[in-house]
Amino acid sequence: MKLLIALLSLCVLAGGCRKGMMNQGKVKPLAEEDFFKDGSGARPIPAHTVARGHLNKDERFFSGLIGDRLVTTIPMPLTPELLQRGRERYDIYCAVCHSRTGDGNGMIVQRGFPRPPSLHEPRLREAPAGHFFDVMTQGYGVMYSYGSRVEPQDRWAIVAYIRALQLSQHATTNEAPPDERAKLKASPR
């Protein structure tokens, strides 16, 4: 009886050892395949295919360009929330090299890496907003691209914050509202 139960168990177990599921016909990505004339199992992506959620119709917003010219203004409304988001993203991605004030003396620079330009240089204060967006997207010099790390709306938020940093370091008392101007003139520096 024990022998019969053991044989039956062995038959049941052996019946489950088929390799049909493991050895089924399939095409592995980028493997050679004789089904298609070009010998490739992977089919080329049709022209003008757009990944879901990446239509990116607004050229100004997604590239910082209009045609081949850099945009001069930020293509989204400036709000306190946008500036706050820009500050958070700047502190995460940019401050390590450019410093929190934008002078180009961040912690990485203090440890021996090449110094980036100060964001307060006249040429960068006068640069169009699209310049900063493009540099973040494409990289520049030893700065690598942040295009895959920082979403476009966050890149524009960083641009807005950079403009606020530049303004904070180069604003004059005459640019302040009249009620604040009196306070500024009265306070000792």
Distance, first Cα to last Cα, the chain: 101
Residue 148 forms part of a structural domain: yes
Q: What is the CA 118 to chain-centroid distance, rounded? A: 22
Residue 102 forms part of a structural domain: yes
- The per-residue pLDDT for range 20-73, each reduced to its tens digit, is 667 777 777 788 888 888 888 888 889 888 888 888 889 999 999 999 999 999
User: Could you tell me the pTM of the whole model?
Assistant: 0.71
- The per-residue pLDDT for range 128-168, each reduced to its tens digit, is 999 999 999 999 999 999 999 999 999 999 999 999 999 98
- Cα–Cα distance measured from residue 63 to residue 58, given in angstroms and rounded to the nearest whole number: 8
Residue 53 forms part of a structural domain: no
Residue 149 forms part of a structural domain: yes
Residue 15 forms part of a structural domain: no
Residue 185 above 80 pLDDT?
Answer: no
Residue 177 forms part of a structural domain: no
Give the HSE-up count for residue 95: Cα atoms under 13 Å, Cβ half-sphere: 11
- Cα–Cα distance measured from residue 13 to residue 18, given in angstroms and rounded to the nearest whole number: 10
Residue 16 has a pLDDT of: 63
For residue 119, give its domain range: 59-171
CATH number at residue 85: 1.10.760.10
11-25, 82-96, 112-126, 148-162, range with the lowest pLDDT: 11-25
Residue 88 forms part of a structural domain: yes
**Number of domains comprising the chain:** 1
Residue 25 forms part of a structural domain: no
